[in-house]
C-alpha cells in the first residue's frame, strides 16, 4: 500500500515537472482552441487567428524563442479566406476567449491587427479555470493598418508575468477609421510569450496534496502498528 501511494504521488510530481519543462523561457505560445463569446459566429474561423497560414515565417509553439522570432519582423498577408476572422457585420465590438491548453506564465501578446477593420481598443482578461476572469490590460490601441500594402506586422504588448490558461479579448471601437471598410471587429493572428515553468492546474495540486496526505496517514498507521 505504502509503495503504491509513493509511486502515485511521485508520478504526479514527475508529470508536473515534465509539463513545466516543455516550454523554455520566452517562447512563443499559440492557442489550441477558442470561442466567440459575443457578436458571432462572424466570418471565417477563430482558428484562422492562430493557424499561422498567412504568416511570412512560422514558429513552433512552445519551442521557438519569442524575441528571436519577432526580431525577424514576421508579417501577415491581407488575404481573408482561411487567414483572418471577422465578427458579425454591423457590430462595433467583439469578445473572444482563447484557450492555451495549459496554464502558462505569460508576459506578452503579439497581435497582427487585421487591416480593413481591425480592433480599435482592446482589453485583456485572464483566467486559470475559464470561469473567473481578472483584468490584465485595458485600453490597448493596436496599430491601424491600412490596405495600402499587401502585408502587415505585429504589435507587441508587454505586461508583467501572469499565470493564465485562458485569455479573453474584449475588442471595441471597430472598425478602425483607416480604412474601416467592413463594419465589424477583425483579428489577423495572435500569439503569446511564455516564460516557461508552466503553472500546474489546480486539480494537479489537489492530487499531489492528497497523495502526500495519504502517504502520511499510512506511515502513521504503520508506526502505530509497530508500537
Q: Are 150 and 46 contained in the same domain?
A: yes
Three-state DSSP class for residue 145: coil
Q: Are 98 and 140 contained in the same domain?
A: yes
CA distances from 78 to 43, 96, 149, 160, 189 (A): 15, 21, 8, 31, 11
Residue 36 has a pLDDT of 98
Q: Are 164 and 137 in contact (CB under 8 A)?
A: no
Can you tell me the distance from the alpha carbon of 22 to that of 25, in angstroms, rounded to the nearest whole number? 10
pTM tops 0.85: no
Q: Are 87 and 192 contained in the same domain?
A: yes
What digits encode the pLDDT tens for the residues 32-48? 999 999 999 999 999 99
71: containing domain: 23-197
Question: What is the number of domains present in the chain?
Answer: 2
Q: Are 10 and 54 contained in the same domain?
A: no
Q: Are 30 and 97 contained in the same domain?
A: yes
Q: Are 4 and 51 contained in the same domain?
A: no
Residue 208 has a pLDDT of 41
Q: Are 13 and 39 contained in the same domain?
A: no
Q: Are 56 and 168 contained in the same domain?
A: yes
Q: Are 48 and 85 in contact (CB under 8 A)?
A: yes
Our measurement of the distance from residue 54's CA atom to the centroid of its chain's CA atoms, rounded to an integer in Å, reads 19
Q: Are 145 and 183 contained in the same domain?
A: yes
Three-state DSSP class for residue 194: strand
CA distances from 35 to 15, 65, 87, 106, 176 (A): 28, 27, 12, 20, 23
What digits encode the pLDDT tens for the residues 166-225? 999 999 999 999 888 899 999 999 999 999 755 455 554 444 444 445 445 556 566 555
Q: Are 173 and 217 contained in the same domain?
A: no
Q: Are 172 and 215 contained in the same domain?
A: no
Amino acid at each position: 500500500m505504502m509503495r503504491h501511494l509513493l509511486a502515485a504521488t511521485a508520478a504526479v510530481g514527475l508529470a508536473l515537472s515534465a509539463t513545466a519543462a516543455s516550454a523554455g523561457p520566452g517562447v512563443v505560445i499559440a492557442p489550441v482552441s477558442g470561442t466567440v463569446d459575443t457578436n458571432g459566429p462572424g466570418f471565417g474561423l477563430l482558428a484562422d487567428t492562430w493557424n499561422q497560414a498567412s504568416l511570412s515565417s512560422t514558429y513552433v509553439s512552445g519551442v521557438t524563442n519569442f524575441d528571436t522570432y519577432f526580431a525577424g519582423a514576421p508579417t501577415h498577408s491581407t488575404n481573408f479566406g482561411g487567414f483572418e476572422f471577422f465578427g458579425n457585420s454591423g457590430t462595433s465590438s467583439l469578445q473572444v476567449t482563447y484557450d492555451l491548453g495549459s496554464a502558462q506564465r505569460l508576459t506578452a501578446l503579439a497581435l497582427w491587427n487585421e487591416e480593413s477593420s481591425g480592433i480599435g481598443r482592446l482589453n485583456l482578461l485572464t483566467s486559470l479555470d475559464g470561469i473567473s476572469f481578472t483584468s490584465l490590460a485595458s485600453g490597448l490601441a493596436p496599430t491601424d493598418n491600412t490596405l495600402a500594402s499587401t502585408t502587415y506586422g505585429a504589435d507587441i504588448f508587454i505586461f508583467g508575468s501572469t499565470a493564465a490558461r485562458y485569455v479573453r479579448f474584449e475588442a471595441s471601437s471597430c472598425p478602425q477609421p483607416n480604412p474601416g471598410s467592413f463594419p465589424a471587429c477583425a483579428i489577423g493572428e495572435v500569439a503569446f510569450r511564455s516564460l516557461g515553468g508552466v503553472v500546474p492546474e489546480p486539480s494537479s495540486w489537489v492530487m499531489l496534496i492528497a497523495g502526500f496526505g495519504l502517504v502520511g496517514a499510512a506511515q502513521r498507521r504503520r508506526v502505530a502498528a509497530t508500537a
